[in-house]
Structure 1
Amino acid sequence: MRGTLRTAFRRWVNAQNVPELLAASSVGSWLGLIALVLVLLAATQWAPHAEELFALPLGTALLCFAPALVDFVFALLHRGRQHIETWGWLLSLTGTTCLQFFVASLMALCAPTGATIFGGFFLFTAGFHGRLFRVTPRTPFLAVGTVLALAVAALLFGHWDDVALFAVIGPASLMAELYLGAFALQHDQTAAEAERLRAAIQAQMLSQQERDVGRMSQALTDIIAHTEDIREALLKAGTAADLLTGQLARSTALSRGEPARLIRELHQNLSHIRDRVMEIHQKGRRYVGSDPEVVDLVPVLDSVRQSAGLRFPEVDIAVQVDRGEPLRAWVRGGVTTLRRVVENLVTNACEGDGLRAAGCVRISARTEPLSGRLEMIISDDGPGFPPERLAAPIQGLSTTKPRSTGLGLYTSECLIRASGGTLERQNASEGGAVLRVLLPRELRS
């Protein structure tokens, strides 16, 4: 029997929401409760017609309230604590039982009309305590205390009419206590299950992002390999052009004018292509070979807002962040990449669809509460995205603007994914486009 009781008590303790219970039994809460009790007792004595309605002996009521101060002692002993020992749980159960006894004693000491009012108070108190202490049929420790409080208060009956009231309020209070306690426990289990599911989904998303980063790195590696092939082909083409130039030098002046012009153009084009290939090659090397860097987001946003404001003076661009909160993201390519991403997205927001521009652009950032990642939202009051664009993935060379390549949004998404982040698009209900970027956040130790 003792082992069963210990197991049930341990199960009950493990089911408790300790921060919630400590907040409800804090010193501040108790000082407020004491003030409320004094006001209530004063009202039963000196309010108009209160004597006829309640007929409550004040001295006896105050004596009945004294044992409830055990819970106030619990609040004093646990002030500033985050954990409750076994003796603390026993002290809290005792103090709560004494508080219920006080409310039940008011019901027993009052005249029948006033007793009905305090009966409602007792029903509310029992239900609240049932939810707070997770009272269930398997862990009915406080329910036993409620029965004990009603039994001791019944000894104070001032009127036989109170017997019927106790017979109704007592079982109703126990049912409310057990029901709300079981409901709170079920809610806790559902919330815990939802948190586990969220964690599993988050782990799956992170795994998917790691695969995306791997594919992006592989794609960049392939690009580098292609540039090597292109460079080799360019060298061969350049050698052939040089040989052709030598052959033309040995021909007559009259027959080499047009071929010479074509050869010059060939050299110019080859030189231009060579420069572009080298640029792509260097960028690919930088992104593939570099590790993610920690970047402070706020200075980047301020810098982009300033440069975009000069470029689009007619657009109201604002940065809305909590500057006291550290917003530091892990970005592959560092500040340069992050600035390019933000600049592309803000430029797209300012330009709209090319026919209708935005008049207002808002950039906000925060730590996303569910995933813990860095969330940046860029919203505007422009025309928004066409529905068919939202339904399709982001693609390069696809745009609604008359003079645009569509590479800005596509490049930004590629860079975000390479850093392990995501880019989401949607239209606001009041109009305009909303871009949501999630990036890995630096975790402070």
Structure 2
Amino acid sequence: MSRLSSMGCATRTAFQRWVNAQNVPEVLAASSVSSWLALVALVLLLLAAASWAPRAEQLFALPVGTALLCFIPALVDFAFALLHRKRQHVETWGWLLSLAGTTGLQFFVASLMALSAPQGATIFGGFFLFTAAFHGRLFRVTPRTPFLAVGTALALALAALLFARPEHTALFAVLGPASLMAELYLGTFAIQHDRTAAEAERLRAAVQAQMLAQQERDVGRMSQALTEILGHSEEIRETLLTASTTADLLTGQLVRSQSLARAEPERLIRQLHENLARIRDRVAEIHQKGRRYIGSDPEAVDLVPVLDSVRQSVGLRFPDVSIAVQVNRGEPLRAWVRGGVTTLRRVVENLVTNACEGDGLRAAGSVRISARTEPLSGRLEMIIADDGPGFPPERLAAPIVGLSTTKPRSTGLGLYTSECLIRASGGTLERQNAHEGGAVLRVLLPRELRT
């Protein structure tokens, strides 16, 4: 491999790592159409104040027409906002468009600094420093992924061509490195914060997964016990029916015998009937309660937001793994799950984490999550496929059990807990290896049928 192709491969890997580190909802909110309309209003107000406010002409000496022309490159980010107005995911071309638009916006702020008089340039320099720091945090700019930092340097270099006063040289020489350092520092801080939050979420998820597994076992034992109680109640009811019939026959025989000394047997028979009636009432009450508490009703959960949330959280823990969600977002994908969103998110997070980890020695490079309505059964089908080492043949042939794993520092509860939770909701979990390599998990869940 040539040095040029090696550099290209390293650049693509770093760019993919940068994309995986992004907080997509946060970026889309910052680059929304409403945010842009507010920004345009702020820019117009700022230019008007710099031109017509008292003594502003002496302080800024800003050519408004030239400043507005410098704002045109920033409209690339407005195009990004328009194209992603109803999207929840950003493709590779979208990130490139966002980088270009953000660089254009930084060029506009830097041009205000270059076009103004020295006193006003200092004020706009503070704006540029704030803008670069904000973008560094928003886009997770780090020394390993300095794509926006390169755009910031380019924006400063192009804006430097606009100033004609030597006083601006010192300002650009100070604010340029300071802005880049602020951008990289806040971006690195944001990445560390995301990782810390993801680690805390992972620990919380592990504890909750074990609790859910224990709850699942407890519910299973309780359901089994209630089923046995219901079976016993049926036997008791049949026995009571036989006893009542026998008491009726005995009463009939006493009537036919016309015995004069039958007062005491009749009293005992009445008492027997009363006791049997009370027992029947208690058995019916037990039967009714058993039917009511034998299991909780499942909840309808939207699958797509859960998949997007898991892609974001697991992607922070595995920045070198490309995780993609491939669904038809126009199709309603609502599953019936016991435990609601919490259970479904825990299931998907466990399965995707297992796919990213591989076998503990070799990790996956990419994980693809797809979901659809299975055409034959009408159930909701979710497939998690990776390009890792796949399952050993002996593990595919054996059932899934807890505390069994090939990974170091792992409990083996993730896959087992997920299968327990899926089964409790009336679903199934299937494992297999793909022909081209890697593992494939297929989950089938009951789907909400809208009327």
What range describes the TM-score normalised by the shorter chain of this pair?
0.5 to 0.7
1:223 alignment partner in structure 2 = 229
Residue 169 of structure 1 and its aligned partner are, at CA, apart by: 2.0
The whole-number CA distance in structure 1 between the counterparts of 2:145 and 2:77 is 20
Residue 330 of structure 1 and its aligned partner are, at CA, apart by: 8.7
1:86–1:279 CA distance, 2 compared to 1 (3 A): closer
1:137–1:208 CA distance, 2 compared to 1 (3 A): same
Matched, 1:186 2:198: no
1:369–1:54 CA distance, 2 compared to 1 (3 A): farther
Determine if contact 2:140/2:190 at 8 Å carries over to the other structure.
Answer: yes
2:53 alignment partner in structure 1 = 47
Determine if contact 2:251/2:266 at 8 Å carries over to the other structure.
Answer: no
Residue 208 of structure 1 and its aligned partner are, at CA, apart by: 3.3
**Higher mean displacement: 125-134 or 103-112:** 103-112
Q: 1:152 aligns with which of 155, 158, 183?
A: 158
The whole-number CA distance in structure 1 between the counterparts of 2:103 and 2:336 is 52
Matched, 1:263 2:268: yes
2:65 alignment partner in structure 1 = 59
Determine if contact 2:251/2:269 at 8 Å carries over to the other structure.
Answer: no
* CA RMSD, Structure 1 to Structure 2 (Å): 4.4
TM-score (norm 1): 0.57
Matched, 1:136 2:142: yes
2:15 alignment partner in structure 1 = 9
Question: Superposition pairs for residues 237-386 of structure 1, below 5 Å?
Answer: 259-260=264-265, 263-264=268-269, 266-276=271-281, 278-280=283-285, 282-283=287-288, 286=291, 370=342
Residue 64 of structure 1 and its aligned partner are, at CA, apart by: 2.3
Residue 70 of structure 1 and its aligned partner are, at CA, apart by: 2.8
1:172–1:221 CA distance, 2 compared to 1 (3 A): same
TM-score (norm 2): 0.56
Code of the aligned partner of 2:280? D
Residue 46 of structure 1 and its aligned partner are, at CA, apart by: 0.6
Residue 193 of structure 1 and its aligned partner are, at CA, apart by: 4.1
Code of the aligned partner of 1:266? Q
Code of the aligned partner of 2:277? H
1:86 alignment partner in structure 2 = 92
The whole-number CA distance in structure 1 between the counterparts of 2:280 and 2:25 is 64
Output one character per residue of 1:109-129: Cα deviation in whole Å (capped at 9) or x when no partner: 222321221111101110111
Output one character per residue of 1:290-341: Cα deviation in whole Å (capped at 9) or x when no partner: 8876799xxxxxxxxxxxxxxxxxxxxxxxxxxxxxxx9999xxxxxxxxxx
1:240–1:104 CA distance, 2 compared to 1 (3 A): closer
How many residues are paired up?
Answer: 312
Matched, 1:175 2:181: yes
1:95 alignment partner in structure 2 = 101
The whole-number CA distance in structure 2 between the counterparts of 1:157 and 1:14 is 38
1:294–1:251 CA distance, 2 compared to 1 (3 A): same
1:112–1:370 CA distance, 2 compared to 1 (3 A): farther
Determine if contact 2:299/2:340 at 8 Å carries over to the other structure.
Answer: no
1:223–1:73 CA distance, 2 compared to 1 (3 A): closer
Determine if contact 1:330/1:442 at 8 Å carries over to the other structure.
Answer: no
1:241–1:71 CA distance, 2 compared to 1 (3 A): closer
Determine if contact 1:22/1:75 at 8 Å carries over to the other structure.
Answer: yes
1:238–1:2 CA distance, 2 compared to 1 (3 A): closer
Determine if contact 2:76/2:101 at 8 Å carries over to the other structure.
Answer: yes
The whole-number CA distance in structure 1 between the counterparts of 2:28 and 2:82 is 11
2:28 alignment partner in structure 1 = 22
Which ranges in structure 2 are unaligned for 5 or more consecutive residues? Answer: 1-6, 301-334, 346-423, 426-445
Residue 43 of structure 1 and its aligned partner are, at CA, apart by: 0.9
The whole-number CA distance in structure 2 between the counterparts of 1:5 and 1:136 is 14
1:130–1:276 CA distance, 2 compared to 1 (3 A): same
Choose between structure 1 and 2 for higher RCO, CA contacts under 8 A separated by at least 6 residues: 2
Determine if contact 1:130/1:181 at 8 Å carries over to the other structure.
Answer: yes
2:384 alignment partner in structure 1 = none
1:127–1:275 CA distance, 2 compared to 1 (3 A): same
Question: Superposition pairs for residues 384-423 of structure 1, below 5 Å?
Answer: none
Residue 56 of structure 1 and its aligned partner are, at CA, apart by: 1.6
Code of the aligned partner of 2:169? V
Code of the aligned partner of 2:147? F
